[in-house]
Amino acid sequence: MSTAPPDPEGTPTDDVARKNFVEQAIDADLAEGEAAAVLTRFPPEPNGYLHIGHAKAICVNFGIAARYGGSCNLRFDDTNPAKESQEFVDAIQDDIRWLGFEWAGAPLHASDYFEELYGFAVQLIEKGLAYVCDLSAEETREYRGTVNEAGRNSPYRERSVEENLDLFTRMRAGEFEDGARTLRARIDMSSANLNMRDPVMYRIARAHHQRTGDAWCIYPMYDFAHGQSDAIEGITHSLCSLEFENHRPLYDWFLENIDGLPHPRQIEFARLQLSYTITSKRKLQELVASGSVSGWDDPRMPTIRGLRRRGYTPEAVRAFCDGLGLTKFNSTHDMHLLENALRSDLNARALRRMAVLRPLKVVITNLEEDARIERQAVENPEDEGAGTRPVHLTREIYIERDDFREDAPRKFFRLKPDGHVRLRYGCVLRCDEVVKDDTGEIVELRCSMVEGTFDGQTPEGLGKVKGIIHWVSAADAVDATVHLYDHLFREPQPLKDGRTLEDDLNPDSLEVVTGAKLEPALGDAAGGERFQFERLGYFVRAEGETEPVFSRAVTLRDSWAKLEKKG
RNA sequence: UACCCCGUGGUGUAAUUGGCAACACAUCUGGUUUUGGUCCAGACGUUCCAGGUUCGAGUCCUGGCGGGGUAACCA
């Protein structure tokens, strides 16, 4: 759909061949014969729902594999059963498929390799490269030292291979309390890289694992599981985020010291940061727990499920991710990019409809009581094949309250007392009278239809009518509830400089509008169906509601709002 | 303070690996338009700083400065 036209000049400006630093590295590996086919992996921990940041990682891993004719595994990094669950395993697969990606073969799990991993650990013990340590968690931390200060060797560091083997066997057998002992790599307690100061490989934890049940009471740490899992699967390039940079020496150390394993290359890239939102799992969890949002799938959440309910298309999310670029620079992308990706996708595909959010009744006084003037409205001006639909102009219609002003500012091209405006697909209206109630609130406009103004015609002497507004026939209107969503946070960089959720949450991120008037064609829209409400934005019909409920996915660009803001 | 990584318009990415700094978004200005949408055209930079190598440096070297990451038996 968004295929770029071929460059007519044939100039070397093609953006097709432009490669990011990861692809350049892969090219080099391929050229040197370091790797044959490219195999990547997406390794989520099943302890939460996927968000827009994961979408980038998914597009990177699946995208690069596809570009090299390779494939991408889905592997759950399920080494911490206390925090993980099957619920997330299922949800993650669902979200990846929704995005439009399919992994190679069955979904894989680090837990599939627990037995093999255990064997690797035994091998390292036999080589004198791992030992059982009796230090408590707190002591381990103390012994590790700090960034400025070298660590100290554990008093258990010099245990014999036999003793270590015996102890490790008994750890597995469940002879010791949780946390009583660990298996640690024997590397260098004075390393400048804290990750190399005899990192823990296994801890004792009696937690029920969603796949292995109670078969194990010791679980491998990320560092000991991840690289070896990559190697077992024959991953060629293990792409991860920047915070694992300091782990790469350890990743490499395990692979070098375990016999017979291929050596995948870990390459780190910057994770996605988006303005006006957050992608910290913990903070998102907080939003859900505090009731600031209705759940992980609240349409304001940056989760895949949230975006989905918000009305985002997978195509838009992918287009957004593909436009990000891939670097090691810690940057924050503009939320506009995500929104524009959706606008551009839906502009091309969404059918247009008229809907009035805050209705103001207009009586067209020179129209008969039972008049029904049929007009053909264009379904989508970007897609001629979409055709037209009928709309009916009647004596009573609704227009948007915002489209009338008693004291209209300069450049306000809409309706004002004694002013003219064109009804979309209809005639020009003249505002003759403003009807108010006792409190002074405008309850009705009495207007007259100007003869000879259908089909864009303007009779002599009327002058150019610049304003065009949408409307809905009162006789045909379908009532609806509309959810107007805005950014969840009011700050471009939420939670910066110690600010809290309460400080930065946008109090107006959701406005529920009842009594909106929809054109009848919208009444039987299916759940999940998306439309452009003309002049308002893109909306999606909510699922699982019997009465019509629509959610605003994103507004249209609004140059009038911008103008007015400037004053 | 130790180690690792990163500094190119407002934001984010390019620059054929040493040869006229390009693209997208944002912003502003115009044009088209029965959506103040879409579309089209134009405007907006001494590549963090200082030295050095070179005919030539965003790119290489040295030294600063600035930002991020790292001290879970989390991933």
Range with lowest mean pLDDT among A54-68, A183-197, A337-351, A451-465:
A451-465
Cα→Cα distances A117→A224, A261, A321, Å: 8, 12, 35
Q: pLDDT (tens digit, 9 = 90+) per residue, A73-102? A: 999 999 999 999 999 999 999 999 999 999
Cα separation, A446 vs A476, whole angstroms: 19
HEC string of A20-50 equals: CHHHHHHHHHHHCCCCCCCEEEECCCCCCCC
Among A444, A440, A353, smallest CA distance to A397 is for: A444
Cα separation, A34 vs A235, whole angstroms: 12
- Indicate the DSSP class of residue A480: E
Q: In what helix (H) or strand (E) does residue A225 lie, and over which residues does it extend?
A: helix A222-233
pLDDT, averaged across chain A = 94
A356 and A398 Cβ atoms separated by less than 8 Å: yes
* CA atom of A68 to C1′ atom of B29, Å: 45
Within 7 Å: CB of A331 and strand B? yes
The ipTM (two decimal places) reads 0.94
Residue A375 has pLDDT above 50, yes or no: yes
Q: pLDDT (tens digit, 9 = 90+) per residue, A481-522? A: 999 999 999 999 998 888 889 899 999 999 999 999 999 999
* CA atom of A206 to C1′ atom of B37, Å: 59
Coil, helix or strand for A65?
helix
Known catalytic membership, residue A281: yes
In a 13 Å sphere around the CA of A471, the CA atoms on its Cβ side amount to 33
Query: How many residues are listed for chain A in this entry?
Result: 567
pLDDT of residue A14: 38
Task: Kindly state the average pLDDT of the residues A255-260.
Answer: 97
* CA atom of A10 to C1′ atom of B16, Å: 15
* CA atom of A390 to C1′ atom of B8, Å: 54
Strands, sheet with A468-469, edge to edge from the N-terminal-most edge strand: A468-469, A420-423, A428-436, A442-450, A359-364, A396-400, A471-473
* Nearest-nucleotide field for A337 (CA, C1'): B25
Q: Spell out which residues of A between 472 and 501 contact strand B, using CB within 7 Å.
A: none
* Nearest-nucleotide field for A423 (CA, C1'): B34
- Between CA A226 and CA A253, with CA A72 as vertex, the angle to 5 degrees is 25
Within 7 Å: CB of A242 and strand B? yes
In a 13 Å sphere around the CA of A409, the CA atoms on its Cβ side amount to 9
Cα separation, A528 vs A310, whole angstroms: 9
How many Cβ atoms sit within 10 Å of the Cβ of residue A250? 21
Residue A426 has pLDDT above 90, yes or no: yes
Residue A459 has pLDDT above 90, yes or no: no
Task: Kindly state the average pLDDT of the residues A383-406.
Answer: 96
Delineate the domains of chain A, giving CATH numbers in brackets. 21-109+224-339 (3.40.50.620), 114-221 (3.90.800.10), 354-473 (2.40.240.10), 480-566 (2.40.240.10)
Q: Give A189 or A458, the one with higher predicted confidence.
A: A189
Residue A553 has pLDDT above 60, yes or no: yes
| A448 strand-pairing partners | A430
Within 7 Å: CB of A265 and strand B? no
pLDDT of residue A499: 87
Q: Spell out which residues of A between 80 and 139 contact strand B, using CB within 7 Å.
A: 80, 83, 135-137, 139
How many Cβ atoms sit within 10 Å of the Cβ of residue A427? 20
Residue A4 has pLDDT above 90, yes or no: no
Residue A415 has pLDDT above 60, yes or no: yes
pLDDT of residue A445: 98
Looking at the whole model, is its pTM more than 0.90?
A: yes
Residue A542 has pLDDT above 60, yes or no: yes
Residue A5 has pLDDT above 70, yes or no: no
Cα separation, A56 vs A516, whole angstroms: 37
HEC string of A389-433 equals: EEEEECCEEEEEHHHECCCCCCCCCCECCCCEEEECCCCEEEEEE
* CA atom of A337 to C1′ atom of B26, Å: 10
What own/partner pairs with CB < 8 Å and gap ≥ 24 does A500-509 have?
A: A501/A283, A501/A286, A501/A287, A501/A290, A501/A292, A505/A292, A509/A300, A509/A485
A211 and A109 Cβ atoms separated by less than 8 Å: yes
Residue A35 has pLDDT above 80, yes or no: no
Q: Which residue is nearest to nucleotide B23 (CA to C1')?
A: A15
Cα separation, A196 vs A338, whole angstroms: 39
Q: Spell out which residues of A between 332 and 391 contact strand B, using CB within 7 Å.
A: 332-334, 336-337, 340, 343-344, 347, 352, 380-382
pLDDT of residue A2: 29
Residue A406 has pLDDT above 60, yes or no: yes
Covered bases, chain B (protein CB within 7 Å): 1-8, 10-17, 22, 24-28, 34-39, 67-75
* CA atom of A239 to C1′ atom of B2, Å: 27
Coil, helix or strand for A106?
coil
Q: Spell out which residues of A between 392 and 431 contact strand B, using CB within 7 Å.
A: 411-414, 422, 424-426
* Nearest-nucleotide field for A455 (CA, C1'): B34
* CA atom of A97 to C1′ atom of B45, Å: 43
How far, rounded to the nearest angstrom, does the alpha carbon of residue A324 sit from its chain's CA centroid? Answer: 13
* CA atom of A462 to C1′ atom of B2, Å: 79
Catalytic residue among A45, A286, A382, A444: A45
First and final CA of chain A: distance in angstroms?
Answer: 39
Known catalytic membership, residue A565: no
Q: pLDDT (tens digit, 9 = 90+) per residue, A274-307? A: 999 999 999 999 999 999 999 999 999 999 999 9
Known catalytic membership, residue A116: no
| A183 strand-pairing partners | A132, A202
pLDDT of residue A17: 53
